[in-house]
């Protein structure tokens, strides 16, 4: 699957640098930016379902999405495929380098794992599953009980 066949990648506001979007586009990805579709103060629980419905792949550095109950519910219910950088305080040039190097592994990951999921992107661009479909859906079921 070429990058043109891959679902668009959505950069949330905490990665909202146009430099990151430009670099990823130059590397062959289709990229959507938070500010082009949602108000700057849109809550994660509001934009996650919309992005999931569109089939976009989320890129963020907000690791709290995987820790907050309402955000996990939104990811699980909306079949979101989400990648989060594990290093929070990086310069945009460092984030660009990590993300560009991770393009191939992310595309492979998206093909190999069903939505929803939350995966980590490490500083060496290695991808690691954090919450897979089964785990997210089990957590959602636990909340219903």
Is the pLDDT at 3 greater than 70? The verdict is no
Which position has the token pair 């130059």? 26
Q: Is 84 helix (H, G, I), strand (E, B) or coil?
A: strand
pLDDT per residue over 64-110, tens digit each?
888 888 899 999 999 999 999 998 789 999 999 999 999 999 999 99
Domain boundaries of the chain, sorted by first residue: 3-144
Q: Is the pTM of this model over 0.85?
A: yes
Q: Is 61 helix (H, G, I), strand (E, B) or coil?
A: coil
The dihedrals phi and psi of 41, each to the nearest 5 degrees, come to: -100, 15
CA 130 to chain centre: 12
Angle at 127 between CA 73 and CA 80, to 5 degrees: 25
The pLDDT-based confidence of 119 (bands split at 50, 70, 90) is very high
Is the pLDDT at 1 greater than 70? The verdict is no
DSSP 7: P
Mean pLDDT of 16-42: 92
Q: What percent of the chain has pLDDT over 90?
A: 72
User: How many DSSP H helices and E strands does the chain contain?
Assistant: 6, 6
CA 128 to chain centre: 13
CATH number of 3-144: 3.40.50
How far is residue 55 from each of residues 50, 52, 87, 99, 141, measured CA to CA in Å? 9, 5, 26, 19, 23
């Amino acid at each position: 699957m070429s990058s043109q066949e891959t679902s668009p990648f959505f950069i949330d506001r905490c990665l909202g640098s146009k430099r990151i979007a430009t670099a990823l586009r130059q590397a062959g990805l289709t990229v959507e930016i938070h500010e082009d579709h949602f108000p700057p103060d849109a809550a994660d629980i509001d934009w996650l379902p919309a992005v999931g419905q569109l089939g976009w792949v989320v890129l963020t550095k907000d690791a709290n999405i995987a820790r907050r109950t309402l955000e996990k519910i939104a990811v699980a219910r909306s079949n979101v495929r989400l990648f989060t950088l594990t290093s929070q305080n990086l310069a945009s040039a460092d984030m660009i380098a990590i993300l560009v190097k991770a393009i191939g592994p992310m595309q492979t990951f998206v093909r190999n794992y069903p939505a929803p999921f939350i995966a980590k992107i490490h500083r060496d661009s290695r991808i690691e599953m954090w919450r897979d479909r089964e785990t997210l859906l089990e957590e959602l079921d636990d909340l219903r009980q």
